[in-house]
Each structure stands twice: as C-alpha cells, then as structure tokens.
C-alpha cells in the first residue's frame, strides 16, 4: 500500500468515526468552562456566566433557542419534551426554507402543539402544519419536526411564528417544556432545476429564467438523490471527505443534504461537466466560473429540484426534504399525529 | 470586572466555533464521547483561567488543541492500570437517520482498531497529521518534540498501520 493511499484511508476512517460519534448538527452543550474549578468534572458552574456564554454559543451556531436549557421546568408529574428551534431568526431566506425544530423525546400527540402554533405572513394569518420524522441529526433529540405552508413562502414577505406550547400536554404523561418564537423575511422566489438528461441547471427568479449552467451529477455507484432540495448552508471553501475521497479547498459549496450533497466548483472535472458525464460522489459539479456566479445568486432556503436524478428519493430529514411530501399527507403529521 | 466579561464573551465565541472539532480530536485520542467532552471542557476552563496571558484568538486555538492532546494523554495515563484502550463508538451503527454519509464501514473499523495498537505518541502524531491536517512544525510545537521526532513517529506509525492493514488488501 502506498503512503498516499494509506493516508487517504486513515483520513476517511478517522473522519467517519469522529463524525458518526459527534454529529455536525449537534447543538453545543451548556458551556461549563466559566470559572469551573480545575479538575472538577461536571461540577457546579456559575450559572450567570455560563448562561451568558451559552447564549453567545447558541447564537453563533445559528440556533434560536427560547427558554434556555438552564430554566427549571415546573414539576408537574409529566415527563418534559424539550423543543430546540434549529432555524435562525432575523435572516433573509429563500422561499423554500422550512422551519426546523428538534424534540427531546418521542412524544405521542402534536394536537396541542398545532393548536398553539400561529403563523403570520405580512401580518395576516397563514395556515401552516407540522410534520415529524425520526431523526439522528441531533443527539438527544430523536424527533425532527418541520413547519411549512401548503406551498413555498410568498416572496419578499415577513414571516412570524409563535408556538406557545410550554406546559401543554404532548400525549399521556408528557408535556412540552418550551415555547418557540421566530421571525424572518423571504427574498425573491429563486428555483433551480437540474435536468439529469441534458445535464443542465436552469435557474429562475420570480418565474423568469436568469441563468443556465452545465453540470455533472453523481456516478452510477454514488448517484445524486432525486427530488426537491433546499440550500441549507453556503461555504466559500470546504473540505469534502468520504469513503475514498478527500478534497479540501472545494470552492463555492452550497449544501443540499446532511449526507453531504453540495453544489460546488469542480475544477478537476471540467471535461465531464462539459460533455455531461455523471462522475461525482453525489455532488453537483459546476465549472468554476458558473459555481461562483451561482454562489452569488442563491440564498439559504432557495429551491433546487432534481426531478430525474438517479439516486434514492429525498426524505424529509435527509436535509430540507419538505417539498417532497404532498400537502394532504403533510397535514396528518407523519410520525406524530397532528389531527 | 471588565476582564472577566471580555474573557467570557471571547471564550464563549471560541467554544461555539471550535468545540465540535476539538471533541472529535479528543474522541480519536481517548475512547469515549463522555471523556472527550470532559477533556474539551477542561481545555476551555483552563483557557478561561489564563485568558489574560493569551494575546489573540489564533493563539487561543492552538492552546486549546494542545490542552486537548495533553488532557487526553493524562486521562489515558490515569486509566492505564484500570482498563485497556477501547473504542465503544466504532462498533455502533448509526440508526436509520439521514446521516448515511458518515456510516462507519468495516474498513473504517479496521483502521481504527489498528490505530489503537499504536503507542500514544505515534497515535497522537498520526491523528494530528492525517485527521487534523496540521503541518509537522505545528505538531512539533504542540507536543513539545522536535520536527524530526514528529517525522519519525509519523513514519513508524504509518509503517505499523500499513503492516496491519496491508495484509487485508
């Protein structure tokens, strides 16, 4: 075995083990560093300092948490279901952005949660519904819930969400421990469609075509998943790693799934992009100049559709898989009934 | 106390930005998540105590990484008589969640089992070099050994791993 091959195997194995044990989506635990006596583990910490630290940590990691972890839940004899909102507030998002929350245990009824949820768009009430799936995206929070309307959010609008669920029952012997508040605005309606037959991505803004780029998708062994995805995160440069590959400095990366499908520049793959041969590990490869233009064009929450890609269908918790579920099905709540 | 407030905000920002990476680093050096979290918390506690003597955030990150490596080594040393190095996490399959990209395959487990057999110095160098992607000079400064010793530890560790893994290929 050559040194580079060994090094690649080491990097991939270490990374897989580290990432499998500590998920990317894990929320930071309460900071215990503040004035903690040396050598004392899981000891007392000074609450005000640590709470201040936790607020900074949470804000910076794009979590908008209300009713922090350190607030006592009133003893009521019922086990508490904590709610962590994963969607950051006061941002501008694309029209496909779902509201994502994690729940600390498998609860059995979301009827009260639904009743306690109010959504307004530009001040007018809108009909939104929750849908739940089991999720491994956040340790300690086995249920993931998404809140959305029948269709995409209206473009260029202010969305306000309030869920007054604290102390409401979540099924027999269970109650919610948190409220949720969130507000954000939407930008223009930007939708990209990737055609795996013509190997082109076409982008529209408010219904008008604005750009079209050649792309290469996942190879037969590692196909790109099929369905409607949403930009989850943007990184000017990332390291992409997985079994058998490790590329650092990958430019203009826009994330579409937790498993690591991205839109990105692939300067090593120019010929295959130009002739339309699918060779990637599932990512959508773009010519560098196109990837840079697309990076400027798209915002977190914008929609990217793969109607005919060769991979497995996109699920809710594969990323922001919300738009692959029909509204009639969505309204029933999935894992946890809402009606 | 202005100093305390500055330190709180600065250390909290570092905590948010670097905790995940440091926990993963510790996890590769020790053997379980809880110990790894503890080692990282201790590193941040120490940084907080010494904030006054650390000039800039860039230096703080290096300080944290060094603390994590040293802390991991102390934990293993304290424990050595009690039990051998084990890695419960690698044999656990993730549930049916969406994170299929981080499935730990049999090949990965094989590499990690081989890593366990290395002496701790070699294991540290290998993890810092091939997982954390640190240059040899930085590893040398972190571990307090010469660049030559980093090179030879990396080379011996690589040879040992190749010998264990090579047979399977």
pLDDT in tens, A192-232: 999 999 999 999 999 999 999 999 998 888 889 999 999 99
Dihedral angle of Cα B121, B122, B127, B129, to the nearest 10 degrees: 110
Is the Cβ pair A61, B108 closer than 8 Å? no
Give the ipTM of the model, two decimals please. Answer: 0.73
Q: Are the beta carbons of B42 and B63 closer than 8 angstroms? A: no
- Which residue among B42, B89, B133 places its CB closest to the CB of A17? B89
Of A11, A22, A57, the CB nearest to B24: A22
CA distances from B127 to A250, A323, B25 (A): 22, 41, 8
| CB nearest B12 (choices: A23, A57, A315) | A57
Q: How far is A85 from chain B (nearest CA, A)?
A: 17
* In the predicted structure, residue B156 carries a pLDDT above the cut 50: yes
Average pLDDT, chain A: 82
* Whether pTM exceeds 0.90: no
Q: What does DSSP assign to residue A334?
A: B
Phi/psi region, residue A38 (left: phi>0; alpha: psi -120 to 50; beta: rest), is beta
Yes or no: say if B153 and B146 are a contact pair by the CB < 8 Å rule.
no
The predicted structure's pLDDT at residue B79: 65
Q: How far is B26 from chain A (nearest CA, A)?
A: 9
Q: CA distances (Å), B141 to each of A104, B18, B21, B124, B135, in order? A: 42, 20, 19, 13, 10
A131 or B108: which carries more pLDDT confidence? A131
Alpha-carbon gap, residue A170 to A76, rounded angstroms: 13
- Look at residues A258, A263, A262, A248 and name the one whose alpha carbon lies nearest to residue A293: A263
Tokens of B117: 């057999």
Closest CA–CA distance from residue A74 to any residue of chain B (Å): 28
Contacts of B107 in chain A (CB under 8 A): 9, 13, 243
Residue A183 has pLDDT above 60, yes or no: yes
Q: How far apart are CA A310 and CA A195, in angstroms?
A: 11
Contacts of A37-43 with C-beta under 8 Å, sequence gap 24+, read A38/B42, A38/B45, A38/B46, A38/B49, A39/B42, A41/B38, A41/B41, A41/B42, A42/B38
Spatial strand order in the sheet of A158-163:
A92-93, A180-186, A158-163, A117-121, A124-125
Cβ-based contacts of B105 with chain A (< 8 Å): 16, 243
Question: From CA A162, how far away is CA A148, in angstroms rounded?
Answer: 13
Q: What is the pLDDT of residue A140?
A: 83
- Per residue in A144-170, pLDDT (tens digit) is 999 999 999 999 999 999 999 998 999
Neighbours of B35 (CB within 10 A): 19
Helix (H) or strand (E) holding A263: strand A262-265
pLDDT value at position B104? 65
Residues B142 and A5: their CA atoms lie apart, in Å, by 26
Q: Return the structure tokens found at A187.
A: 């930008």
């Amino acid at each position: 075995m050559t040194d580079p091959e060994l090094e690649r195997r080491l990097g991939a194995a270490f990374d897989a083990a580290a990432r499998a044990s500590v998920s990317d989506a894990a929320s930071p635990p309460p900071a215990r560093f503040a004035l903690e006596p040396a050598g004392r583990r899981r000891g007392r910490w000074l609450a005000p300092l640590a709470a201040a630290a936790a607020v900074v940590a949470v804000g910076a990691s794009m979590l908008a948490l209300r009713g922090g972890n350190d607030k006592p839940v009133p003893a009521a004899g019922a086990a508490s279901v904590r709610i962590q909102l994963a969607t950051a507030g006061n941002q501008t998002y694309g029209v496909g952005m779902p509201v994502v929350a994690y729940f600390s245990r498998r609860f059995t009824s979301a009827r009260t949660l639904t009743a306690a949820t109010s959504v307004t768009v530009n001040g007018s009430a809108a009909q939104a519904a929750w849908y739940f799936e089991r999720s491994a995206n956040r340790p300690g929070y086995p249920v993931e819930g998404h809140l959305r309307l029948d269709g995409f959010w209206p473009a260029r609008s202010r969305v306000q969400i309030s869920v007054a669920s604290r102390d409401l029952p979540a099924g027999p012997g269970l109650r919610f421990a948190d409220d949720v508040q969130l507000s954000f605005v939407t930008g223009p309606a930007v939708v990209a469609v990737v055609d795996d037959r013509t190997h082109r991505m076409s982008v529209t803004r408010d219904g008008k075509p604005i750009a079209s780029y050649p792309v290469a998708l996942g190879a037969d062994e590692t196909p790109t998943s099929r369905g409607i995805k949403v930009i989850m995160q943007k990184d000017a440069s990332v390291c992409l790693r997985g079994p058998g590959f490790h590329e650092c400095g990958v430019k203009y990366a826009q994330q579409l799934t937790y498993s690591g499908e991205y839109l990105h520049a692939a300067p090593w793959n120019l010929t295959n992009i130009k002739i339309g041969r699918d060779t990637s590990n599932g990512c959508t490869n773009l010519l560098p100049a196109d990837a840079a233009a697309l990076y400027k064009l798209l915002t977190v929450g914008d929609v990217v559709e793969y109607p005919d890609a060769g991979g497995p269908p996109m699920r809710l918790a594969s990323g922001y898989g919300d738009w692959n579920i029909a509204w009639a099905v969505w309204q029933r709540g999935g894992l946890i009934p809402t009606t | 106390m202005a100093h305390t407030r500055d330190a709180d905000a600065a250390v909290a920002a570092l905590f948010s930005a670097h905790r995940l990476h440091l926990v993963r680093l510790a996890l590769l050096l020790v053997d379980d998540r809880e110990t790894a979290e503890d080692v990282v918390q201790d590193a941040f506690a120490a940084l907080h105590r010494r904030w006054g003597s650390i000039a800039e955030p860039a230096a703080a990150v290096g300080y944290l990484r060094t603390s994590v490596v040293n802390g991991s080594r102390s934990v293993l040393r304290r424990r050595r008589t009690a039990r051998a190095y084990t890695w419960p996490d690698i044999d656990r399959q993730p549930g049916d969640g969406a994170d299929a990209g981080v499935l730990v395959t049999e090949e990965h487990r094989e590499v990690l089992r081989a890593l366990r057999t290395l002496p701790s110095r070699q294991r540290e160098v290998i993890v810092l070099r091939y997982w954390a992607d640190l240059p040899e000079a930085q590893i040398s400064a972190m571990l307090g050994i010469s660049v030559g010793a980093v090179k030879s530890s990396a080379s011996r560790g690589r040879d040992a791993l190749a010998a264990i893994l090579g047979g399977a290929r």
